[in-house]
Amino acid sequence: AQRVTQPEKLLSVFKGAPVELKCNYSYSGSPELFWYVQYSRQRLQLLLRHISRESIKGFTADLNKGETSFHLKKPFAQEEDSAMYYCALSGSGNTPLVFGKGTRLSVIA
């Protein structure tokens, strides 16, 4: 069964500090991992996906198959990064996205 775990419900950091949002997954095959973000009063939107290996808004995430993790990182947090972040996994074939319960990031000025 597919499972995504985000151990932190809430993460508070000061502006300019590094940020790491943790995501661990459970899946027997080769997954596709995503990070979605939901800013206040906005719809859920894709932030990045592991296959693109991009840096979006200064965020990066590396898939670590050995540790089954896909942590989201940013070296210097900005106030506009405050939002709800969801890690999601898609398995092979036409399987639905499975989401973690989300981590609320609060960046304090």
Partner 1 sequence: KAGVTQTPRYLIKTRGQQVTLSCSPISGHRSVSWYQQTPGQGLQFLFEYFSETQRNKGNFPGRFSGRQFSNSRSEMNVSTLELGDSALYLCASGAQYSNEQFFGPGTRLTVL
Residues near partner 1 (CB under 8 A) are: 32, 34, 36, 43-46, 49, 86, 90, 94-102
**Of 6 and 107, which CB lies nearer to partner 1 in the complex structure?**
6
For partner 1, give the closer residue by CB, 44 or 78: 44
Of residues 63 and 102, the one with the C-beta less far from partner 1: 102
**Residue 34 C-beta: closest distance to partner 1, Å:** 7
- Output the smallest distance, CB 90 to partner 1, in A: 4
Q: SS3 letters for the chain?
A: CCEEECCCCEEEEECCCCEEECCEEECCCCCEEEEEEECCCCCCEEEEECCCCCCECCEEECCECCCCECCEEECCCCHHHCEEEEEEEECCCCCCCEECCCEEEEEEC
CB of 12 to partner 1, least distance (A): 18
